């Protein structure tokens, strides 16, 4: 059937306000799209959402509140294999945590070192020739004098 063969990219869908997403892709045997970008701020029921979506083999990377109902959420998928319950959820990347998961901390940025400016030496035709000759004879000394 057309429903069973559905395998379109739905990753851009905004599901943040969805409360019930249970059985949404159940038995959609061809479905294997990345949904890891979905965030579930309001969801309460996900039971069977991917149940028997047999081609599904993605790491969802979802974290939902302990109160969310997850029965058979991704059992009988390629990702979960023969696992059931919590093992199936873990296999396809669904984590449950009290109060949902804390956001990942932003990386601490280390400021880039400030380059020490090279001395400024005004150059004319003669001085540029002198600088080039110095570069060929002693690169380190020329760089200290003229910069890089």
Return the residue matching tokens 């990347």. Answer: 93
List pLDDT tens digits, range 39-54.
888 999 999 999 999 9
List pLDDT tens digits, range 98-145.
865 766 555 666 777 776 666 566 667 777 788 888 888 888 888 888
Cα dihedral 22, 4, 86, 64 sign:
negative
For the chain, what percent of residues have pLDDT higher than 90? 50
Mean of all residue pLDDT scores within the chain = 86
Q: Which two structure tokens, joined as six digits, stand for 63?
A: 């974290």
Task: Please check whether residue 7 lies inside any domain of the structure.
Answer: yes
Number of structural domains found in the chain: 2
Task: Please check whether residue 110 lies inside any domain of the structure.
Answer: no
The pLDDT value recorded for residue 125 is 75
Same structural domain for residues 10 and 81? yes
Task: Please check whether residue 112 lies inside any domain of the structure.
Answer: no
Same structural domain for residues 62 and 129? no
Task: Please check whether residue 40 lies inside any domain of the structure.
Answer: yes
* Range of the structural domain that residue 145 is part of: 117-148
Q: For the whole model, what pTM was predicted?
A: 0.64
Task: Please check whether residue 111 lies inside any domain of the structure.
Answer: no
Same structural domain for residues 86 and 135? no
The pLDDT value recorded for residue 105 is 58
- CA end-to-end span of the chain, whole Å? 69
d(CA 148, CA 7): 56
List pLDDT tens digits, range 22-78.
999 999 999 999 999 998 889 999 999 999 999 999 999 999 988 999 999 999 999
Same structural domain for residues 19 and 77? yes
Contact 89, 76 (CB under 8 A): no
């Amino acid at each position: 059937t057309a429903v069973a063969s559905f395998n379109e990219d739905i990753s851009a869908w905004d599901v943040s306000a969805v409360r019930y997403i249970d059985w949404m892709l159940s038995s959609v045997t061809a479905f294997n799209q990345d949904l890891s970008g979905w965030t579930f701020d309001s969801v309460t029921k996900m039971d069977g959402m991917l149940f028997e979506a047999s081609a599904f083999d993605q790491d969802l990377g979802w974290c939902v509140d302990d109160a969310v109902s997850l029965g058979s959420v991704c059992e009988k998928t390629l990702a979960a294999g023969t696992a059931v319950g919590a093992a199936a959820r873990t296999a396809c990347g669904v984590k449950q945590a009290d109060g949902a998961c804390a956001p990942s901390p932003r990386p601490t940025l280390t400021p880039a070192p400030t380059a020490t400016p090279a001395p400024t030496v005004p150059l004319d035709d003669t001085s540029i020739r002198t600088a080039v000759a110095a570069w060929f004879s002693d690169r380190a000394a020329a760089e200290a004098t003229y910069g890089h």
